[in-house]
Amino acid sequence: MMAIAAIWIGVLLLGGGFALDRTLTRLVESNFDDQLEYLLNAMIVTAEIGPDGEVYFNRPLGEPRFLEPNSGLYWQISAKGQEDTPSYSLLNKPSRSLWDTPLKLREDHFDTEPHFYDSYQFEDEPLRIVERTVILPDSDTRWTFAVASAREELDFQINRIRSILVWSFALLGLGLFAMAMAQSWYGLSPLRRVRAAIQSMRSTGSNRISDPLPLEVEPLVEEINALLAHTEKQAEEARTHAGNLAHALKTPLTVLTNAATARDPQLADLVFRETKTMQRHVEHHLARARAVGRRASGHSRAEVWPSAQSVLRAVTRIYETTRFDLDGNKSATVSVERQDLDEILGNLIENAAKYGGGSVFVTIDAEADAEMCVIWIEDDGTGIPESERTRIFDRGARLDTGKPGTGLGLAIVRDVAEIYGGSVELGESEDLGGLLVKLILPRTAQ
């Protein structure tokens, strides 16, 4: 910000200074030229032709520097093309201030209007010359009237103006840059206060920024607090999962330890059974961890219809006698990773086929303007009593122990759905009479 401000201020001041320099320089030169033109007009007005054809002034010019040799102000009257005539000396008349050195004029053209230009005829005295060609009364000769003045005074004024401009613009630039620095420093001070608040939060162990801060940074503070809350929630979830996994593994490990200590003859069967139990718990928590990691990416997207078709093809091979029907919105998409959606639908559809009576209906209900997608999974089994519909989501909970299973399917479905902001509800199917599972998942933004 400082570098950009310095460059921009420099560019503007250089451009403005150049324009102002040209304007003031032209103004000073114009004023200087007006004085020379005034003297030139005075010469032309007072000039007359004498009896011998020479030019003379009918009254004095009134400028004493014309009479002082090398005074820096000179005039000269000459006639073009008259050098070979006997009266050339009369036709080339310089002022006394020129002494014996005539001016070298540009006599290769005819100037009806005053013509200004610079001359470097004298090495130590640059001149500013104005000339004009006129035809005086009673004469057919084209007379060139010229007034020259040393540029020393003009150059001094120009240099003085430029010096004032340089110093003024330099001070102005420093002042503007200092103001920009102060403005930036003051404008960014709320961010320094945020940094100090974060440092204080880290040193004091606080989990929120609670210090009063300016309005400009309140949205930033709110986002930081939201991020801290999200991080704290994830850390708490991780601690909970770790504790749950440790608790789930503790009992099988205790059983194995006791059996090994007592040299139980059924140790091999116990090892097989308890390790399967531990494996199921590990898979459950790994599924949750994967879902949390995918959700954190923020780009989850899956099409429901292809996922449901894929799951139905796989389940049909296992339950060949079960009739599966799929209906509903074929273009619905949800904010869930495809692998997690397959796992959720796989658990629910497999449970419906396993505990149902031979019919499973899957309906995808997603209206165009709805924020959530509802997936209905129905079967014609015995269903689940209303009093057991909450407990069935607990890890290892099973109502029908006569069929193979781990008791973790619904727990995984609930946990993964909630991670993505969805939910699972159980009810009774009106059409088939069995269990009705209502899976609600957030839709992706169109």
180 falls within a domain: no
Q: What is the mean pLDDT of residues 363-383?
A: 85
Each residue of 318-350: pLDDT tens digit? 888 889 999 998 888 998 888 888 888 988 998
**pLDDT category of residue 295 using cuts at 50, 70 and 90:** low
State residue 63's pLDDT score: 85
| Cβ atoms of residues 292 and 234 within 8 Å | yes
Give the per-residue pLDDT at 31: 94
E-state strands within 50-174: 55-57, 73-79, 93-94, 115-122, 125-135, 142-150
Asked whether residue 141 falls in the same domain as residue 226, the answer is no
CB atoms within 10 A of CB 204: 8
Domain boundary, last residue among 292, 323, 348? 292
Per-residue model confidence (pLDDT) at position 325 = 92
CA distance 397 to 410: 9
Provide the token pair at 446. Answer: 């169109």
Q: Is 4 helix (H, G, I), strand (E, B) or coil?
A: helix
Q: Look at residue 78 and tell me if it is in a domain.
A: yes
Is 431 in the same domain as 308? Answer: yes
Q: Would you say residue 416 lies in a domain? A: yes
Domain that holds residue 128: 2-158
pLDDT of residue 18: 93
Is the residue at 47 inside a domain?
yes
Token digits of residue 333:
């998409």
Which is higher by pLDDT, 104 or 27? 27
pLDDT higher at 378 or 104: 378
What's the pLDDT score for residue 107?
62
- What is the DSSP annotation of 259-316? HHHTT-TTHHHHHHHHHHHHHHHHHHHHHHHHHHHHHHHS---EEHHHHHHHHHHHHH
pLDDT range class, residue 257, cuts 50, 70, 90: confident
* Among 292, 316, 350, residue at a domain's last position: 292
Do 127 and 9 lie in one domain? The reply is yes
Res 402: pLDDT:
42
The per-residue pLDDT for 254 is 80
pLDDT at 409: 65
For range 179-186, the mean pLDDT? 87
pTM: 0.46
Q: pLDDT band at residue 85, thresholds of 50, 70 and 90?
A: very low
Average of per-residue pLDDT across 16-44 = 92
Residue 219 has pLDDT above 90, yes or no: no
Domain-located, residue 193? no
Same domain, 267 and 321: no
Are 94 and 15 found together in one domain?
yes
123 shares a domain with 10: yes
Q: Which pLDDT score, from 0 to 100, does residue 355 have? A: 85
3-7, 228-232, 305-309, 394-398: range with highest mean pLDDT: 305-309
Residue 408's CB is within 10 A of a number of other CB atoms, namely 22
Asked if residue 166 is part of any domain, the answer here is: no
Q: Which residue has the tokens 């073009």?
A: 80
Cα–Cα distance measured from residue 191 to residue 201, given in angstroms and rounded to the nearest whole number: 15
Instruction: Rank 15-24, 44-53, 253-262, 283-292 by mean pLDDT and report only the highest.
Output: 15-24
Domain end (from 110, 129, 158): 158
Domain count, the chain: 3
Handedness of CA 253, 255, 256, 258 (dihedral sign): positive
Cα separation values, 246 from 207, 259, 391, Å = 27, 20, 21
Note whether 229 and 361 are same-domain residues: no
Terminal-residue alpha carbon distance, the chain: 39
Torsion over CA: 230, 233, 237, 242 (sign): positive
Would the CA dihedral through 159, 164, 169, 170 be positive or negative?
positive
The answer to whether residue 393 sits within a structural domain is yes
How do residues 405-421 score in pLDDT, each as one tens digit?
Answer: 444 567 778 888 888 88
Secondary structure class of 89 (helix, strand, coil)? helix
Q: What is the pLDDT of residue 290?
A: 64
Check whether residue 287 and residue 375 sit in a common domain.
Answer: no
Asked if the structure places residue 430 within a domain, the reply is yes
Report the candidate in 434, 444, 437, 433 with the shortest Cα–Cα distance to residue 423.
Answer: 437
